């Protein structure tokens, strides 16, 4: 039984922007229980909010009405089986991502997904939101790596897609077989990947870990003065690091400045910020900014099977990048501790900006060549419409995927300011659409962005989405008001 404070925590999201007032939280332990709950809610037209790690950034797991119940899969955390021949890892939806990563590593394979929230997000939520993360270009999307799925539909029906258990009713102690290739009918599991619980609840996931756990990891943080340099650096990374390139993460000067001065980047191994190359005094100021930081930083990481080869590739990459003026400076991680410090810098972006004030978070896809113009345009707009506020714009993201995390923080002010929101929305989405981008790259729609869906897709596509929702959830009980807008 949960007390009132605990129930409140299920009603509050990570950003603290979204608060629900649901008084019922159910935490089933097995698929059969999820099935019974949904069948009951289906019959009685009760709204259900599926929840896993509750780490989303778009309010997708927070109820919008007090009549809804929350169904958390957090107690369904068993790893069911690992097949060393195929590398397929299968488990319940509530498993913590970090635990899946560790389990994979212990079996000498690498989990093909990594996110900043890995310590608390769950595999079920990761799949339900089609999360991307930093290794997307290397290990590919969840549409590639989720090879089996068990879901419970709104009416309680349990569907198994390419998951066969030796003991169907047990949740542990059984083995699972999953085929890597299966072309027997519409591959319906893809509908649930990224559906944010609007079609059913994912209860089991089979994830293909096709790559051996890297024998070596190398990393460098490079400093660039322009986005042209960043793109040149990406080109060289692809050429010289080739198949070992695993991450190419982008941070702008503003967020680097905040992170470098934040306690979030101090780890048990010391201050991670010492890994960031800084401008020497004679060069700073030449671009009209006296910051000790360069305009852009890139964290480049490789995963490989041969330490000598990998070190050689990374050294050659840094040498060529400097020689060809693709980077101004670079710091090479000398060991795994330094490499982890570099990741601590990158992963502290989110908590650091949150600690400085209310943050309007946008996760968009854009042509890389538009990143700067997009940010400058919004800077000018905020300067003119919200000049009385001290606002920081910070940018970071997965630039190899064209994925920009654009953040606007009202420094020192921790409440939402309507005039900032008005200045930003819907302008920011219109700007993204005009540039050919996506208004949600990897964070999903939830209740934050779903109202903009009609601006994104044509009428036929929207009608088809609506029909699929109606067919699979005829009473509209699954995550009401999220994902597809009500007025669709």
Site for a copy of itself in 159-178 (CB under 8 A): 159-162, 164, 177
The total number of residues shown for the chain amounts to 488
381 lines the binding site for a copy of itself (CB under 8 A) = no
Q: Does 413 bind a copy of itself (CB under 8 A)?
A: no
CB of 349 or CB of 399, closer to a copy of itself: 399
HSE on the CB side for 257, CA within 13 Å?
17
Regarding 239 and contact with a copy of itself (CB under 8 A), the answer is: yes
* Between 219 and 258, CB nearer to a copy of itself: 219
Stretch that binds a copy of itself, among 64-72, 209-217, 278-286, 413-421 (CB under 8 A): 209-217
Applying CB under 8 A, the span of 72-80, 132-140, 252-260, 414-422 interacting with a copy of itself comes to: 132-140
- Closer by beta carbon to a copy of itself, 61 or else 341: 61
134 binds a copy of itself (CB under 8 A): no
Q: For a copy of itself, which is the closer residue by CB, 225 or 231?
A: 231
Does residue 204 contact residue 150 with C-beta atoms inside 8 Å? yes
**Contact by Cβ (8 Å): 295, 371:** no
How is residue 104 written in tokens? 């994979």
Smallest distance, a copy of itself to C-beta of residue 64, A: 18
Question: Are 190 and 94 within 8 A, CB to CB?
Answer: no
- Within positions 324 to 363, which residues make up the interface with a copy of itself, using CB under 8 A? none
Pairing of strands 296-304, 245-252: antiparallel
Binding piece for a copy of itself, criterion CB under 8 A, among 96-104, 284-292, 373-381, 457-465? 457-465
Instruction: Choose, by CB under 8 A, the member of 13, 347, 442, 473 that binds a copy of itself.
Output: 442
Q: Which is nearer to a copy of itself, 361 or 449 (CB)?
A: 449
Residue in the structure block whose two tokens are 């050429």: 239
The window from 74-82, 256-264, 345-353, 395-403 that contacts a copy of itself (CB under 8 A) reads: 395-403
Compute the distance between CA of residue 481 and CA of residue 63 in angstroms, rounded to an integer.
9
How buried is 16 (Cβ within 10 angstroms: 0-12 exposed, 13-18 middle, 19+ buried)? Answer: exposed
Cβ distance to a copy of itself smaller for residue 13 or 329: 13
β 329-332/216-224 pair status: antiparallel
**Contact pick of 2, 16, 119, 188 for a copy of itself (by CB under 8 A):** 188
Task: For residue 88, give the DSSP letter.
Answer: E
Query: Do 350 and 255 touch, CB atoms closer than 8 A?
Result: no
Q: Which of 54, 101, 211, 265 binds a copy of itself (CB under 8 A)?
A: 211
Specify the 3-state DSSP secondary structure of 233: helix
Q: Which is nearer to a copy of itself, 175 or 261 (CB)?
A: 175
194 binds a copy of itself (CB under 8 A): yes
Residue ranges in 305-324 that form contacts with a copy of itself under rule CB under 8 A: 305-306, 309, 312-313
Asked whether the beta carbons of 213 and 108 are under 8 A apart, the reply is yes
Q: Tell me how far, at minimum, the Cβ of 340 lies from a copy of itself, in Å.
A: 21
At 405, which helix (H) or strand (E)? strand 403-411
In the set 444, 447, 448, 478, which binds a copy of itself (CB under 8 A)? 444
Q: Check binding of 398 to a copy of itself (CB under 8 A).
A: yes
Instruction: Find, among 150, 96, 159, the residue nearest to 126 by Cα.
Output: 96
The residues, ordered by sequence, that sit 6+ positions from 86 with a Cβ below 8 Å of its Cβ are: 178, 180, 208
Per-residue DSSP letters for 129-145? TT---TTHHHH--HHHH
- Asked whether 87 and 108 are in contact (CB, 8 A), the reply is no
Name residue 300's beta-bridge partners: 220, 248
Shortest Cβ 227–a copy of itself spacing (Å): 11
CB under 8 A: which stretch of 2-10, 15-23, 113-121, 138-146 binds a copy of itself? 138-146
Among 39, 46, 392, 456, binds a copy of itself (CB under 8 A): 456
CB atoms within 10 A of CB 83: 18
- Which one among 75, 143, 168, 380 touches a copy of itself, defined by CB under 8 A? 143
Give the 3-state secondary structure of residue 180.
coil
Query: How many residues form the binding site for a copy of itself (CB under 8 A)?
Result: 93
Indicate the residue among 304 and 481 with the shorter CB distance to a copy of itself. 304
**Binding residues among 465-484 for a copy of itself as defined by CB under 8 A:** 465, 467-469, 471-472, 483-484
- Does 24 bind a copy of itself (CB under 8 A)? Our answer is no
For 387, residues 6+ apart whose C-beta sits below 8 A from its C-beta are: none
Smallest separation, CB 146 to a copy of itself (Å): 9
Specify the pairing of strand 69-72 against strand 48-51: parallel
């Amino acid at each position: 039984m949960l007390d009132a404070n605990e129930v409140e925590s299920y009603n509050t999201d990570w950003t603290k922007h979204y608060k629900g007032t649901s008084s019922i939280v159910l935490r089933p332990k097995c698929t059969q229980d999820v099935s019974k709950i949904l069948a009951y809610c289906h019959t009685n037209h009760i709204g259900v909010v599926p929840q896993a790690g509750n780490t989303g950034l778009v309010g997708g797991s927070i109820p919008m009405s007090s009549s809804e119940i929350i169904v958390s899969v957090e107690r369904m955390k068993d790893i069911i089986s690992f097949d060393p021949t195929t590398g397929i890892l299968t488990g319940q939806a509530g498993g913590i991502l970090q635990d899946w990563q560790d389990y994979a590593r212990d079996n000498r394979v690498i989990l093909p997904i990594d996110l900043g929230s890995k310590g608390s997000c769950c595999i079920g939520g990761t799949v339900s939101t089609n999360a991307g993360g930093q290794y997307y270009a290397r290990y590919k999307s969840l549409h590639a790596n989720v090879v089996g799925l068990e879901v419970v539909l709104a009416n309680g029906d349990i569907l198994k897609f390419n998951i066969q258990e030796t003991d169907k009713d047990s949740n542990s102690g059984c083995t699972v077989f999953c085929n890597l290739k299966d072309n027997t009918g519409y591959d319906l599991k893809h509908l649930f990947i990224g559906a944010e619980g609007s079609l059913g609840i994912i209860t089991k996931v089979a994830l293909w870990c096709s790559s051996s756990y890297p024998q070596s990891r190398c990393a460098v943080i490079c400093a660039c003065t322009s986005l042209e340099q960043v793109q040149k650096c990406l080109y060289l990374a692809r050429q010289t690091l080739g198949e070992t390139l695993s991450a190419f993460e982008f941070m702008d000067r503003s967020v680097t400045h905040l992170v470098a001065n934040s306690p979030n980047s101090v780890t048990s191994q010391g201050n991670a910020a010492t890994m960031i190359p800084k401008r020497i005094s004679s060069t700073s100021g030449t671009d009209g900014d006296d910051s000790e930081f360069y305009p852009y930083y890139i964290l480049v990481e490789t995963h490989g099977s041969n330490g000598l080869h990998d070190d050689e590739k990374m050294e050659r990459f840094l040498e060529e990048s400097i020689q060809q003026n693709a980077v101004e400076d670079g710091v090479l991680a000398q060991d795994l501790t330094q490499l982890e410090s570099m990741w601590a810098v990158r992963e502290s972006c989110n908590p650091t900006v949150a600690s400085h004030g209310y943050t309007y978070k946008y996760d968009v896809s854009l042509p890389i060549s538009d990143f700067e113009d997009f940010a400058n345009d919004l800077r000018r707009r905020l300067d003119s419409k919200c000049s009385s506020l001290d606002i920081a714009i910070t940018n970071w993201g997965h630039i190899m995927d064209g994925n920009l995390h654009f953040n606007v923080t009202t420094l020192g002010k921790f409440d939402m300011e309507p005039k900032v929101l008005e200045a930003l929305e819907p302008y920011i989405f219109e700007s993204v659409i005009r540039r050919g981008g996506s208004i949600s790259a990897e964070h999903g729609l939830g209740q934050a962005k779903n109202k903009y869906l009609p601006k994104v897709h044509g009428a036929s596509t929207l009608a088809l989405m609506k029909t699929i929702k109606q067919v699979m959830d005829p009473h509209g009980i699954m995550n009401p008001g999220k994902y597809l807008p009500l007025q669709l």
